[in-house]
């Protein structure tokens, strides 16, 4: 079990707190809005109504001992910068800050955020990749050049083995996992003799330009 503090209960902060708490982690939340704090009290360890832009308040909470502190202050760009600066001065070891723009993100990095996230931008990119093909179920970007796509099999795949499809040679991609729906089964690094069914779901790793060719298949 890890411990996290979330500063700011925007939609992102709220759902992040809920997800981390449901995984068994210890969560502290801080927000000056009483209604937002009240909505998360039932599933977090501690819910604090406070103004996080007050350095003394942050110091008294003991955030330096947390595994991670997430700054999620919605549209309050100036507040997120100030809070991130205070956390660094308080020697918080792991600061994750939500940014609204690229310039905002650069400032957060400069003043001490260990990691900057862009939830709206990243989710939009992810959705765009999913919408590119009727077969794509999900997409995970590992870098600017490499992704993992989760996809239902194109018609060309159904009834053929991975060896017959030879995707590594033909497209330069690698099938990491096949999730079989009927019967329910997860196959890690499937062998060449594994036959693709219409109920199979494939997790495929590759460079984005090569995955783009898979996405165009019918």
Rounded Cα distance between 88 and 109, Å, is 11
The percent helix, strand, coil of the chain (3-state, each to 5) is 40, 25, 35
Second-level CATH architecture of 122-215: 2-Layer Sandwich (3.30)
Task: Give the whole-angstrom CA distance, residue 39 versus residue 55.
Answer: 25
Confidence at residue 128, expressed as pLDDT on a 0 to 100 scale: 78
Give me the phi and psi of 203, to 5 degrees please. -110, 115
pLDDT in tens, 84-117: 999 999 999 999 999 989 999 999 999 999 999 9
Nearest to 136 by CA among 203, 86, 196, 71: 203
- pLDDT number for residue 107: 95
Q: What is the pLDDT of residue 141?
A: 85
Structural domain spans, the chain: 3-117, 122-215
Q: What confidence score (pLDDT) does residue 214 get?
A: 86
β-pairing, 95-98 vs 46-49, is: unpaired
Closest CA to 35 of 26, 47, 46: 47
Mean pLDDT of 30-48: 95
pLDDT tens per residue across span 131-176:
777 888 988 888 889 999 999 999 999 999 999 999 999 999 999 9
Kindly give the residue spans of alpha helices, DSSP state H, lying in 67-217: 77-89, 102-111, 119-131, 162-165, 167-171, 208-215
Digit-coded pLDDT (tens) for 55-64: 999 999 989 8
Pick the CATH number of 3-117 from 3.40.50.720, 1.10.540.10, 3.40.50.300, 2.60.40.1220: 3.40.50.720
CA distance linking residue 80 with residue 113, whole number of Å:
11
Q: Which two tokens stand for residue 154?
A: 């194109």
């Amino acid at each position: 079990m890890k411990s996290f503090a979330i500063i700011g209960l925007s939609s992102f902060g709220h759902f992040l707190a809920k997800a981390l708490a449901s995984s068994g982690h210890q969560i502290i939340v801080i927000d000056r809005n009483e209604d937002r704090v009240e909505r998360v009290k039932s599933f977090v360890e501690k819910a604090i109504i406070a103004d996080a832009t007050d350095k003394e308040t942050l110091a008294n909470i003991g955030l330096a001992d947390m595994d991670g502190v997430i700054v999620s202050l919605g549209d309050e760009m100036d507040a997120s910068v100030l809070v991130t600066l205070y956390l660094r001065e308080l020697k918080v070891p792991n600061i994750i800050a939500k940014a609204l723009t690229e310039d905002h993100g650069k400032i957060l990095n400069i003043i001490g955020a260990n990691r900057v996230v862009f939830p709206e931008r990243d989710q939009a990119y992810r959705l765009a990749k999913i919408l590119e093909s009727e077969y794509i179920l999900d997409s995970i970007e590992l870098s600017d050049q490499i992704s993992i796509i989760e996809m239902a099999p194109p018609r060309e795949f159904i009834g053929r083995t991975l060896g017959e499809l030879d995707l590594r040679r033909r497209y330069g991609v690698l099938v990491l996992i096949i999730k079989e729906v009927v019967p329910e089964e997860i196959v890690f690094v499937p062998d060449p003799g594994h036959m693709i069914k219409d109920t199979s779901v494939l997790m495929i790793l590759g460079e984005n330009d090569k995955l783009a060719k898979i996405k165009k298949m019918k």
